[in-house]
Amino acid sequence: MRKKKFFLAAALTAMMMGMSSLPAAVPSAEASVETMTAGNADMKYPYVHLKDDAAIEVKINADIRSQLDDMRYGLGYHYDQISTSYQCKYEGQRYVSLILCVWTYNHGAAHGMPHYRGVTYDKENGERVSIRDFVKISSDDADRIYNLPVFSISGKLIPKYDLFSEYADTPLSGNFFLAGHGQIGLIYQPYQLAAFVYGMTSIILPTSLVEELNEKNP
């Protein structure tokens, strides 16, 4: 069944940073993102509706389901409960950028465990695009990137003293979302950079840094 159009927050996740718009040089089909439910109310996933191209719409939504299946079947551990959800982080004229979440729980555990994956689609051709289509990062950029602010799942700045003492030794993430205005958000799972209470953490690369990195790196 279909629910409200455009941007329904998942029940298990707190509010993440909102969508913004970014003008693109190439116009594309108008789209909207709807919440679909598979099997039961806890299995929510996004459905990207394109007004002008049914074939690309089918391609994008098939890949979304494939990504969620890959997340679910790739967990590699037993769980008693599972749910899926998402956030629409950005939709512009050409791209739509989502964060998918698979949440599991084992009876008796202190809390459930969410896993997050960013997926970004080109509405011109339906392809899922990689981070290198937007920003080119090399390993020697780690110090500069880890000096940027780190945000919690609710979009609040995490104080440096609440980050893990060796968080800057974490390999740079290729898991990403578009944050609007040319900014790129790097996604980190709970416990990677900070305590579980902060949920998914992210580092937002400002437009100026994205431009510098693309000039610096091949």
Q: What is the pLDDT along the chain (218 residues), one digit of tens a residue?
A: 333 333 333 333 333 333 332 323 333 445 578 888 877 668 888 999 998 899 999 999 999 999 999 999 999 899 999 999 999 999 999 999 999 999 999 998 899 999 999 999 999 999 999 999 999 999 999 999 999 999 999 999 999 999 999 999 999 999 999 999 999 999 999 999 999 999 999 999 999 999 999 999 98
26 alpha-carbon distance from chain centroid: 23
CA–CA distances in Å: residue 210 to residues 16, 24, 141, 143, 204? 22, 16, 11, 15, 10
- Cα dist. 166→142, 191, 199, 217 in Å? 13, 12, 18, 26
